[in-house]
Amino acid sequence: MAIVQVEGARIAYDTYGSSKPAVVFLHGFPLNRLMWAPQVEALRGVGRLVVPDMRGMGSSELSNGTTSMERMADDVHGLVESLDLAPVVLVGLSMGGYVALSYYRKYREEVRALVLVDTRAEADDEKARENRTKMIEEVQAKGPSAVATAMIPKLLSEEAQKDAEVVAEVRRMIETTSPAGIIGALRGMAERPDSTDLLGEIAVPTLVVVGSEDTVTPPEGAEAFAAAIPDAQFEVIDGAGHLSTFEKPDEFNDLVREFLEELPNGESDS
C-alpha cells in the first residue's frame, strides 16, 4: 500500500503494472479498495491498475465531517496528478460511479474512458435522504456491524448471500470502516447533485454494467442511464446483485478486458 497526501488527508492506494492506459478503480459504499481484489488478479495485463481507498474509508484518512463526491473526485485527481496518470479510465461501482461522474464533470479532458457499474446519475430523493439519516443514527448507536447487517442483503444477490466466504469478506470490509468514515460518505451521498444533465455530454467511450439481480440500482434504471450516454455500451451480468464485480468477477473482467482492447488508438497496449 502507498500513500499520497491530498488536501489534508493521507489517501491510500495500490498500483499494479506500468502499461497504458491507467485504470483507476473507485469502490462502493461502505467498502474499500479490497473489493477490487478479483479485478486486480485478473486484469493486471490490461493497463496500469490504480486502486485507491476513498477519503475516510479503508486506510485513507478522514479530514472533516462530510465527504462529498466532489471531495472524493478531487482526491482521486490528486492521486492521478501525483503519479502522472492522465488520461485515465475510471471504473466506478455505485458510490464509485457517483465519484466518476463528479470527476468527469470537473476533469473531463483527463478522462480516457468510463466504466460505470451498478450506479445511477440521479441525486437522492427525500426518502433516500431519510434512509441515510436513519443509517447515520444506526452507526452512531450500534457501530459499523449494524451497517453490515443492513447492507449485505442490498449488496449481494440472494444466491451470493448463501456463500459464507463472500458474505464474510463483505462484512469484514464494512466492519473495518470507521463510523466517522461511514457517516461522512452517507452525508456526501445525500448531498450529491443530480448528474442526469451530464450524461448527454459524455464524449468518451463508456461501458455501463449492471447485475440482473441488483435491487439498489436495478437493470431498468441502468438501461435508461446507459441510453442517455452517447454510444454507451450496456451489459447485464446474469445472476449478479449490486456488487456484481465481486459476485461474478469472471463475467465482469471479460467485459472490461474487451472494452479496453477496443479503445481507439490501441491505448491498452503497453
Catalog residues that contact ligand MLT under the rule CB under 6 A.
Answer: 28-29, 94-95, 189, 216, 242
| Dihedral of the alpha carbons of 76, 245, 187, 152, in degrees to the nearest 10 | -150
Shortest Cβ distance from residue 264 to ligand MLT (Å)? 30
Are 249 and 38 within 8 A, CB to CB? Answer: yes
The answer for 126, left when phi > 0, alpha when psi is -120 to 50, beta otherwise, is alpha
Q: Considering beta carbons, is residue 85 or 166 the nearer one to ligand MLT?
A: 166
CB of 238 to ligand MLT, least distance (A): 20
State the nearest-atom distance from the C-beta of 26 to ligand MLT, in Å.
10
- Scanning the chain, the segments in alpha helix (DSSP H) are 37-42, 69-83, 95-107, 126-142, 144-155, 164-175, 179-190, 196-199, 219-227, 244-247, 249-261
For the bound state, the minimum distance from the C-beta of residue 99 to ligand MLT, rounded and expressed in Å, comes to 10
Residue whose CB is less far from ligand MLT, 217 or 268: 217
Residue 216 beta carbon to ligand MLT: minimum distance, rounded to whole angstroms: 5
Do 69 and 41 form a contact (C-beta atoms < 8 A)?
no
- Residue with smaller CB distance to ligand MLT, 23 or 189: 189
Shortest reach from residue 38's CB to ligand MLT, in Å: 16
Question: In the complex with ligand MLT, which residue's Cβ is closer, 28 or 205?
Answer: 28
Q: Which is nearer to ligand MLT, 69 or 260 (CB)?
A: 69
**Contact (CB, 8 A) for 37 and 30:** no
Residue 47 or 92 with smaller CB distance to ligand MLT? 92
CB of 73 vs ligand MLT, minimal distance in Å = 15
SS3 11: strand
CA distances from 195 to 59, 70, 229, 264 (A): 28, 12, 12, 26
For residues 12 and 1, is the Cβ–Cβ distance under 8 A? yes
* Of residues 85 and 115, the one with the C-beta less far from ligand MLT: 115
Question: What b-and-e string marks burial along 8-20, b requiring 16 or more CB atoms within 10 Å of the CB?
Answer: ebebbbbbebebb
